[in-house]
Amino acid sequence: MALKVIGAGFGRTGTWSTFAALNRLGFPCYHSHLDFWRKVANSKPGTPQDWDRVFANYTATVDNPGCCVWRELLAIGLSFAGVVAVLGGLWW
């Protein structure tokens, strides 16, 4: 798996800007494949998933649902940088 960067923040926390920046910097950024994520959501915790298939063509992911599985990716031995954007309260 080529995943190197995970945006660990939830939506509306600068993820679109992070997505655009990562793509511009040469890190193709993943965006949801709903059928796969339905399967993950309906699985029992700890069920092995085909992370290699879903992230095969990407070196980065931001926002949901990728930000929700960083622990699982760390548990299978993946080494990656985590990014969290922080926005001030005035943005809301």
What's the token pair of residue 40?
């993950």
Q: What is the pTM for the complete model shown?
A: 0.81
pLDDT tens digits for range 57-91:
999 999 888 888 999 999 999 899 999 877 766 65
- Burial class from Cβ neighbours inside 10 Å (0-12, 13-18, 19+) for residue 41 reads exposed
Which residue is it, tokens 């993943």?
30
* pLDDT surpasses 90 at 5: yes
pLDDT at site 8: 86
Domain boundaries, the chain: 5-91
pLDDT tens digits for range 13-50:
888 889 999 999 999 999 777 888 899 899 998 899 99
What's the token pair of residue 8?
């660990």
pLDDT at site 15: 86
pLDDT, averaged across the chain: 87
